[in-house]
Amino acid sequence: MARYGMLINTKKCVGCYTCVAACQRQNNLLPSEQFIRFEERETGVYPTLNVETIPLQCMHCEDAPCAAVCPTGAAHIGTDGIVQVDQGRCIGCKYCMAACPYQVRVVNEETGTVDKCRFCTVSANDGTAMCSCVEACPTGARIFGDLDDPDSEISKAIAETNAQPIAGDLTKSKVFYVR
Partner 1 sequence: MDAEKKALVFDVVCAGFAPAELDGWNALTGFSAWSEYLDACETIANDECSVLTDVLASGELMALRHPLGFEEVRAFAARHFTGGLPQSAVPVESLYRAGASGVPAYDGISARYMGDLISSMELDVPERLVSTPDHVAVEAGLAASLYRSDESLADSFVSERFTWLADYRLALVALHDDDRMFFCALIDVVLALVECVRSRKHEAISEINLERK
Partner 2 sequence: MQFEPIWGVPIALYLFLAGLGGGAFIASAFVHWKNPDAEVTRKAGHFIAPVVVAVGLVLLMLDAQGGFHNPLRFALLLHNLGSVMTWGVIFLAAFEVIALIAAILEIVKRAVPLWLEAAGSIFGVCVGAYTGCLLGVVKTFPLWNNAILPVLFLVSAISTGIAAVILASLIAAPKEAEELDELKGFHYWMPVVELVLVVAMLFIVNSAGDAAHASVASLLSGAWAPAFWLGFIVIGLVGPTLVETYLQRAKGANERALGIGSEAGVLIGGYLLRMMIVMAALPITLTVAWL
Partner 3 sequence: MSGNAISRRGFLAGTAGVIGAAGLAGYMSFDAWEQAYADDSEKHGTVSTVHSLCNGCSNKCGFTAYVVDGKLRKLIGDERHPMAKGKLCARGYAYAEIAYSKDRLTDPLKKNDKGEFEAISWEQALSEIGDKVKEIVSSDGPGALMMVQDPRPSGSYYAKRFMAALGSPNVYTHGAACYESRESAIKQVIGSNSWTSDVANAKMTIFIGRSYADGLRPAALMAVEKAHEAGSHIVLIDPRFTNSQKFADEWVPITPGTDLALVLAMCQVLVTEDLYNADYVAANAVGFDEFRQNIAQYTPRWAAEKTGVDETTIKRLAHQMAEAAPACSIESGWRGPSGCQYKNSGELARAVACFNALLGVYNQKGGALLYPGVSAGKLDETKFPSTPKPQSAQVGSDEFPLAVDGSALAAVKAADEGKIKGFFSYNANMVGGYSNPSYLASVVSGCDLSVCIDVQMSETAAACQYVLPDTSYLERSELPAFASGAVPSVSMRTQVIDVVHPNTKPVDEIFTELAKACGVGQYFDFTMEELAKAQLASVGVDVDAARQMGTVYFNDKAFSYGTTPKWKTPTGKIQFASDACRQAGYEATPSWVEPETMPMGNELRLIEAKQPIHSHTMTANNETLMGITKKYDLTRAWINRSFAERLGIEDGDTIEVSNEKFTGTIGVHVTDRIVPGALYLPSAYGVSVKEQHTAYGVGLRPADFLAFNLEPGYGSTMSHEACVTVKKVNA
Check residue 92 for interaction with partner 2 (CB under 8 A). yes
Nearer to partner 3, 72 or 139 (CB): 139
Check residue 136 for interaction with partner 2 (CB under 8 A). no
Instruction: Name which position in 99, 135, 157, 161 contacts partner 3 (CB under 8 A).
Output: 135
Is the separation of the CB atoms in 28 and 97 below 8 Å? no
Instruction: Name which position in 21, 30, 93, 157 contacts partner 2 (CB under 8 A).
Output: 93
* Cα(25)–Cα(37) distance, integer angstroms: 16
What element of type H or E holds 22?
helix 18-26
**Closest CA relative to residue 160, chosen from 144, 174, 178:** 178
Per DSSP bridges, beta strands 4-9 and 142-146 are antiparallel
Phi-psi region of 176 (alpha: psi -120 to 50; beta: other; left: phi over 0): beta
Which entry of partner 1, partner 2, partner 3, none binds 44, CB below 5 to 8 A by partner kind?
partner 3
Q: What is the chain's alpha carbon radius of gyration, rounded to the nearest angstrom?
A: 16
Show the binding pattern over residues 25-44: x = contacts partner 1 (CB under 8 A), - = does not: ---xxxxxx-----------
**In the bound complex, what is the minimum distance in angstroms from residue 30's beta carbon to partner 1?**
3
Nearer to partner 1, 115 or 146 (CB): 115
Q: Give residues in contact with partner 3 (CB under 8 A).
A: 11-18, 20-22, 24-26, 28, 31-32, 34, 37-38, 42, 44-51, 125-126, 128-131, 135-140
